[in-house]
Structure 1
């Protein structure tokens, strides 16, 4: 017997259909070289086994009557290769003449007997992938038409070799047909079962539909209350009624988190929060957060109660904010409450509320248009609409978000703030290696002159969250001391390109632009300040750790040569 080890033989598939040649190379033991074959006898034994693999692959592609032989040509000398040659005559590619549905359990009323009655279109293709897809679509139909226990039993093609056609036979068990009848909750400790039942997406008495169960599970997951959720049909009664059985495992009610940041514009920063969920067992949430930088410190408390049937929530907040900026010093107390509603599969959220705000404002501007030190009292009715298709808000790898805010104020002064903001990004390239992201902001103020507008209610721009490369709030007109005056309107835009370069490391290049105007509505043809730079991102498990350096391209005497930013999360 001739010697032939794993490194000195070749495999050929003569006559194989072109679309299957590469597939065979990924299926047979000989091509995969899973073991060594020291003799021609061992090669023949492996070829005999691989012939069955080739036959099954041909059948899966619709070739049901192939002729397959093989031979092993031993190496002629020590430097030559042995060859394993499969000679394949696939024959004609069969087509499916009939699609036959067979149920292996007792008859149930109204279950479809054919693909035609289920209104499912099928072709005459006989390959395994097509037949598998046909069967899955039929199962989906059963699950959506009241058969929650439906399952696939088997599938086969019965070939009529002389005619070159086959019958595709699909075997199922449908189980009884069932209607929704309440919700059975298992595993709830703090959560009220009525709250879980209130999230259901169907009317009792309707036939079971898998899409309703999927939506129900997604709504449960969106509450953030549960670490594990299973949704299935419960026991089906003789009259066909069945509860939806929900098995849940509750998350810990408390979450504590912290974050740090640094920028040359705002100095070191930090954030600490405590969130408490499911306060009364109906999904209520309370969150207290302290955050601060050298120029802004805030303490904020938020509470929210879900309204599943609305669907939406009621919310309230209390905040104390201290600001020490180049333009003003202000200490503010805010109290607000409102109602939120979700629309269009939760992609759209609208909010309406009422807020009270009082501030002690000290202007640091020394020339007109400045305002004296003052105590302001304002009542506002914030209105907003947000369209959101983003994924993880920290990673921000796909989707878009756009918001429109309309906030009328009355009290010490009367004015209306209008603001439109948006951001999006798109990934492309092999493995989504590249990302192109963009952001815009347009803000306006109607109903008040700039001189009378409280200085802490003016619109400012500049800094790590708006126009990088410039100091905080410094984009726009300055007074004689180089302090930002602010305005009644502003425009901002930014674009950023990111590329993964090594594992979790991502490089970025960006350009930001912005302008602040004294007019109520922005002059889009005005003078813009532009900043540009680059950065590095480390895509950690808790989100991207970001380091950016930006230069002011329209540098003024008061502007620094560069700005430096460190923070957690993508900028947009």
Structure 2
């Protein structure tokens, strides 16, 4: 069967003056290599170059396609290329009369090229020899290729250690596939480096073809060098960043065994601070002698880490809209390296309540956040927030000043714990009554996240997110009460690629579950803003914010128990677009035990536009069993997925 590849046809005629057919070889891995290596095919869209240049392309294809054959182990293979004109018999592209054949036809005649290969037998790996490098005055191995390498001077034969041979992984009798040979060279070099041979070198294999035995014999020059330690570590390029911060952050120490993977992990750890636009780590020869050798390692390889600091300050806008909460707009000012230790200061000013079925007027949210990484110990962060907020919700009107400070710590790759202290002075108006509250609380949290998504706005495609929060609280002034708010949430992301149905990351099923409970006090013994509410994108779409649960008319009372769940299907469409369909359900009760109250269900669909910083989300949702005073539909616009 002949597969035809015709490129660049215009008005019935190829602008390049020729078309190419490639006959399948029967080796699915070889055929793409033949096509990719053909100069005739890669230049076919260009204007016809003239007969001389056209013949040069033909000659190049013999060489290029022969190399493609050899890369798959076909060292006895043949390349056959024929050229034919509409009114003439085909001619072999190696025919010495090819130029006359083409000239007689004229420039306007369409040329048809057929490329085919005769593979022959797959050659096997024969002998594999490892050699020490020659002294400099005798030259170096590896200068010649192919059969000519038989005349190359080689250093002394060497025997690789057993573990190095295992890493090399190539054995006599295997098919002589070029990709496998080069991969074995890379594995051997990587293994030597990872075992402390900082100056190791493995030259490209020299291949000698034995056509009578149908084998490919390999010789490699290997220089192990001494096993060394990490030497002095220096930093270059800092302007504002403190050296002490970098040294405390660095998980790489002078005297430990040299390992490139350890150096790369340390480099990435510095990248994760977010304050550098470039971080590079490299060896800085020559070797030095350690004053205090560890593990018997006297010699060490110095390492230099080169840095380029990012712009420290930036200003960004914020905007969002939903039919229940209305619009919100504002601006952020951020300093990412305030005191030279990656401290991040963020000042935000937002106007809120710009319309919306759950709002009764304009509000504001002003806050300042300070994050201090590596506070007292590595992977432990200190966060401070001062916030002033005013919101005129249908449920209640609130004006509050909130001060919060907390510490979070990474326990492992996926686990994080946190504890904080929060005090809040607020004035709340609900159902015509105005009360002042002073609330002190100690939120405690544990978080698990295996989605491996560094940016919270970036959509997750696999893994689990789970969070448990317990917040003991004391409310003063308007009747003292002690209560504890407990909540838990879990989200799971399943990629349909795991079932072989789609490409990775294109079709995702996202599932979310939420439960909450207030212990120690009844609904009216706790401030309105501390009660539990449902409705909106955080729980049940299709219902306005705080629109689910006990109500007085169209005003939400709030509850002391909550449960909600979501199933959402997300499908990428083309490169930058996506669609989603979802069903949400939830309820709020007046008892402390979840799964009480009236279950409300919302459903809907949305579209996504994927930007470099995350998807822009537009969701339209309908309530399935809305209350008498509920909204008939809701519309949400935001950045990032709902969960």
Equivalent-residue separation in structure 2 for 1:15 and 1:438 (angstroms): 47
SS at match of 1:335: strand
Deviation digits for residues 74-109 of structure 1 (CA, Å, limit 9, x no counterpart): 654599975546562x333222244444454889xx
Distance apart, 1:545 and its partner CA = 2.6
Q: Aligned residue for 2:121?
A: 92
Equivalent-residue separation in structure 1 for 2:224 and 2:422 (angstroms): 56
Q: Aligned residue for 1:407?
A: 471
Equivalent-residue separation in structure 2 for 1:103 and 1:186 (angstroms): 36
Equivalent-residue separation in structure 2 for 1:18 and 1:440 (angstroms): 47
Distance 1:269 1:106, change over 3 A: farther
Q: Aligned residue for 1:549?
A: 620
Q: Aligned residue for 1:265?
A: 324
Equivalent-residue separation in structure 2 for 1:561 and 1:261 (angstroms): 21
The aligned runs of 1:139-538 (5 Å cut-off) are 139-171=189-221, 177-239=227-289, 240-294=299-353, 295=359, 297-307=364-374, 309-345=377-413, 347-364=414-431, 373-388=434-449, 389-399=452-462, 400-411=464-475, 412-427=480-495, 428=497, 429-430=502-503, 432-479=505-552, 481-501=553-573, 503-523=575-595, 527-538=598-609
Q: Choose 200-209 or 117-126, whichever is displaced more.
A: 117-126
SS at match of 1:281: coil
Kindly indicate whether the alpha-carbon contact (under 8 Å) linking 2:79 and 2:115 is maintained by their aligned counterparts in 1.
Answer: no
Distance apart, 1:528 and its partner CA = 1.6
SS at match of 1:216: helix
Is it true that 1:60 corresponds to 2:89 in the alignment?
Answer: no
2:31 equivalent among 5, 10, 21: 21
Kindly indicate whether the alpha-carbon contact (under 8 Å) linking 2:488 and 2:514 is maintained by their aligned counterparts in 1.
Answer: yes
Q: How many pairs are equivalent?
A: 555
Distance apart, 1:467 and its partner CA = 1.7
Distance 1:122 1:405, change over 3 A: farther
Kindly indicate whether the alpha-carbon contact (under 8 Å) linking 2:461 and 2:505 is maintained by their aligned counterparts in 1.
Answer: no
| TM value normalised by structure 2 | 0.78
Distance apart, 1:465 and its partner CA = 3.2
Equivalent-residue separation in structure 2 for 1:352 and 1:176 (angstroms): 49
Distance 1:263 1:13, change over 3 A: closer
Kindly indicate whether the alpha-carbon contact (under 8 Å) linking 1:416 and 1:445 is maintained by their aligned counterparts in 2.
Answer: yes
Equivalent-residue separation in structure 2 for 1:36 and 1:336 (angstroms): 70
Kindly indicate whether the alpha-carbon contact (under 8 Å) linking 1:99 and 1:115 is maintained by their aligned counterparts in 2.
Answer: no
Q: Aligned residue for 1:114?
A: 160
C-alpha RMSD of the superposition: 3.2
Is it true that 1:136 corresponds to 2:199 in the alignment?
Answer: no
Distance 1:275 1:113, change over 3 A: farther
Equivalent-residue separation in structure 2 for 1:331 and 1:64 (angstroms): 81
Kindly indicate whether the alpha-carbon contact (under 8 Å) linking 2:554 and 2:630 is maintained by their aligned counterparts in 1.
Answer: no
Q: Choose 167-176 or 484-493, whichever is displaced more.
A: 167-176
Kindly indicate whether the alpha-carbon contact (under 8 Å) linking 1:105 and 1:173 is maintained by their aligned counterparts in 2.
Answer: no
- Structure 1 gap segments, 5+ residues each: 366-371
| TM value normalised by structure 1 | 0.87
Distance 1:414 1:103, change over 3 A: farther
Structure number with the bigger relative contact order (C-alpha 8 A, sep ≥ 6) is 1
Equivalent-residue separation in structure 2 for 1:315 and 1:10 (angstroms): 65
Q: Aligned residue for 1:570?
A: 641
Kindly indicate whether the alpha-carbon contact (under 8 Å) linking 1:444 and 1:521 is maintained by their aligned counterparts in 2.
Answer: yes
Kindly indicate whether the alpha-carbon contact (under 8 Å) linking 1:332 and 1:358 is maintained by their aligned counterparts in 2.
Answer: yes
Kindly indicate whether the alpha-carbon contact (under 8 Å) linking 1:11 and 1:31 is maintained by their aligned counterparts in 2.
Answer: no
Distance 1:43 1:328, change over 3 A: closer
Q: Aligned residue for 1:368?
A: none
Equivalent-residue separation in structure 2 for 1:198 and 1:548 (angstroms): 45
Distance apart, 1:443 and its partner CA = 1.2
Equivalent-residue separation in structure 1 for 2:159 and 2:251 (angstroms): 29
Q: Choose 91-100 or 63-72, whichever is displaced more.
A: 63-72
Equivalent-residue separation in structure 2 for 1:197 and 1:443 (angstroms): 43
Equivalent-residue separation in structure 2 for 1:82 and 1:253 (angstroms): 61
